[in-house]
Homo-oligomer: A and B are copies of this chain.
Amino acid sequence: MENFVFENPTRLIFGKNTIGRIGPEIKKAGIRKVLFLAGGGSIKRNRVYQKVVRSLQENKISWVEVWGVKPNPVLSKVREAIKTARREKVQAVLAVGGGSVIDSGKAICAGVYLKDIWQAFEGKVKIERALPLFVVLTLSATASEMNQWAVLTNEEEKKKFGLGSRHFYPRVSIVDPTAQYSLPWEQVVNGAIDGISHIMENYFLGKGEEASLAYNESLILSIIEAVDKIQENPRDYQARANLCWCITLAHNGFAGAGLSGGDWSAHRIEHSISALYPEVAHGKGLAVVFPAWLLYMQKYNPKTFLRFAKNVWRVKSVEGAVKKMRRKYKSWGAPVRLRELGIREKDISALAENAMLFPSLGVLKRLNKKDVKEILKLAL
User: Which A residues contact B (CB, under 8 angstroms)?
Assistant: 1-16, 18, 208-212, 214-215, 217-219, 221-222, 225-226, 237-239, 241-242, 245-246, 249, 254, 257-258
Contact = CB atoms under 8 A, between A and B. Distances in A.
A18 B214 CA distance: 25
27 contacts: A1-B238, A1-B242, A3-B13, A3-B14, A4-B14, A4-B15, A5-B11, A5-B12, A7-B12, A8-B8, A9-B9, A14-B257, A208-B238, A209-B242, A210-B226, A211-B218, A211-B222, A211-B242, A212-B245, A214-B221, A215-B219, A215-B222, A215-B249, A217-B218, A241-B258, A245-B258, A254-B254
- Best-buried of A1, A15, A217 by chain B (most CB within 10 Å): A1
Contact of A12 (B6, B10, B210, B219): B6
Contacts of A246: 211
Given A5-B12, A211-B249, 19 more contacts: A3-B13, A3-B16, A4-B14, A5-B11, A6-B12, A7-B12, A14-B257, A208-B238, A209-B241, A209-B242, A210-B225, A210-B226, A211-B219, A215-B215, A215-B219, A215-B222, A215-B249, A217-B218, A218-B218
Given A9-B9, A219-B215, A210 B242 contact: yes
B2 A211 contact: no
Contacts of A212: 245
Nearest to A18: B3
Contacts of A254: 254
Tally of this chain's copies: 2
A211 B241 CA distance: 9
A245 B218 contact: no
A15 B259 CA distance: 12
A147 to B, nearest CB: 13
Nearest to A239: B210
A298 B261 CA distance: 41
Nearest to A208: B238
Given A211-B222, A215-B215, A241 B1 contact: yes
Contacts of A18: 3
A219 B210 CA distance: 9
A222 B15 CA distance: 29
Contacts of A2: 15
Contacts of A1: 15, 237-238, 241-242, 245
A257 B249 CA distance: 11
A254 B253 CA distance: 12
A254 to B, nearest CB: 7
A239 B208 CA distance: 9
A3 to B, nearest CB: 3
Contacts of A221: 214
